[in-house]
């Protein structure tokens, strides 16, 4: 028996009572399944008294096949239209009034990874805004945060640095479920949205995903396991550099490297930092796509030894600090457009300001940079408190 029942499981158990006699749209992806691996779209399409009219796919698409930063067009799934919420423009990220026309309620069932720059929570925020503008109610089916709900880590997002990877000032590792985030956004951004959250049953803030009894389905192409989710809040920062973050391998976000990098030296320096709950091993890998596709890369693999004490965001920061300090490398920040923004470096969008980048460029250690986060983390813990469901 599973320990936890998701919002979708509880919706099924209620015989879909909140959706009876309503015209429904569904925001979902491959991980939108119940404990028996039945997809939410299938369940709602067959539910008595529920008229499922449209599907909406977030980044990576309804089927979850598109890689990051790849626009997805509109499509059909059987008789239903699938509207893409990740096209080729920033405007494509938000449902249009036309797409919402004829709906009474928009159901959102997305497995999140508990990280500000994992874009499904931004998609949810934009859906809340669009529904408030169009008079459409929203039902969020909650799911566990695979990182747990206790730890809060990472810097605040400063005004002027908002983007799809940071639409609002929340901590990088925020410790909230999607249902809690929806309530948080209702309080702080969209007070006029008609919102209902169907919480999980049996989930506790200290519960690791593997202990929930729920199946793990890839929510995005490079999130194959809960281990990937564990390191993602820190190692996604590598996206803002010219290093490979392991995309195109079977260990995305656990591998970091480049063809010109001395992995043994990087591992030695990172081991010397004595970061909690993690070890670094010199590694070689050959990505099959994305950065350095088909090239052998030297670098490191992260091995998390203690999830409870592991600090992923500080670990990612430490990797960047060591790379900045390594003399003779070709390390650089990413300069290409990132998530529809071209006038700010990707690393600034990920951190939520230019403070961290400028400090690292000036030679600051990761501990010096992270010392500014303590007060910001404490502030966010207090601000999020009224939105907690568990």
- CB contact at 8 A, 241 and 258: no
- CB contact at 8 A, 132 and 192: yes
Q: Give Cα 355 to chain centroid, integer Å.
A: 22
Instruction: Tell me if 7-217+383-387 shares its fold with 226-372.
Output: no
**Structural domain spans, the chain:** 7-217+383-387, 226-372
Label residue 1 by pLDDT band (50, 70, 90): low
Q: What is the pLDDT of residues 321-371, one digit of tens each?
A: 999 999 778 999 999 999 999 999 999 999 999 999 999 999 999 999 999
Please provide the CATH number assigned to the domain covering 226-372. Answer: 3.90.1150.140
Pick among 3.40.50.620, 3.30.300.30, 3.40.50.740, 3.40.50.12170: CATH of 7-217+383-387: 3.40.50.12170
- If you average pLDDT over residues 159-180, what whole number do you get? 98
Label residue 81 by pLDDT band (50, 70, 90): confident
pTM for this prediction: 0.95
């Amino acid at each position: 028996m599973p320990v936890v029942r998701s919002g979708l499981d509880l919706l099924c158990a209620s015989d879909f009572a909140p959706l009876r006699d309503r015209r429904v749209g569904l925001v979902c992806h491959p991980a939108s399944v119940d404990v028996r691996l039945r997809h939410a779209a299938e369940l709602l399409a067959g539910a008595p008294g529920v008229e499922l009219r449209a599907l909406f796919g977030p980044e990576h698409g309804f089927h979850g096949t598109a890689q990051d930063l790849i626009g997805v067009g509109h499509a059909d799934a059987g008789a239903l239209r699938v509207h893409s919420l990740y096209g080729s423009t920033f405007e494509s990220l938000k449902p249009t009034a036309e797409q919402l026309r004829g709906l009474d309620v928009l159901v959102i069932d997305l497995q999140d990874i508990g990280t500000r720059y994992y874009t499904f929570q931004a998609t949810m925020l934009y859906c809340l805004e669009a529904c408030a503008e169009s008079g459409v109610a929203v039902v969020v089916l909650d799911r566990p945060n695979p990182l747990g709900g206790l730890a809060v880590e990472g810097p605040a997002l400063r005004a002027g640095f908002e983007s799809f990877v940071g639409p609002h000032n929340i901590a990088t590792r925020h410790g909230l479920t999607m249902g809690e985030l929806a309530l948080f956004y209702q309080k702080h951004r969209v007070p006029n949205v008609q919102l209902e959250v169907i919480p999980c049953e049996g989930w506790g803030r200290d519960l690791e995903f593997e202990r929930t009894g729920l199946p793990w389905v890839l929510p995005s192409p490079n999130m194959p396991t809960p281990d990937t989710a564990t390191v993602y809040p820190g190692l996604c920062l590598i996206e803002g550099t010219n290093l490979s973050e392991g995309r195109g391998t079977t260990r995305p976000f656990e591998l970091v490297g480049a063809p010109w990098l001395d992995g043994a030296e990087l591992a030695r320096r990172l081991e010397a930092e004595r970061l909690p709950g993690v070890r670094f091993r010199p590694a070689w890998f050959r990505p099959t796509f994305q950065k350095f596709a088909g090239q052998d890369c030297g670098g490191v693999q992260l091995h998390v030894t203690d999830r409870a004490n592991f600090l992923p965001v500080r670990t990612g920061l430490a990797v960047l600090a060591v790379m900045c300090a390594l003399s003779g490398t070709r390390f650089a920040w990413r300069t290409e457009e990132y998530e529809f923004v071209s006038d700010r470096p990707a690393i600034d969008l990920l951190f939520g300001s230019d403070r961290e980048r400028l400090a690292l460029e000036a030679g600051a250690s990761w501990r010096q940079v992270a010392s500014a986060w303590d007060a910001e983390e404490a502030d966010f813990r207090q601000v999020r408190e009224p939105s907690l469901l568990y």
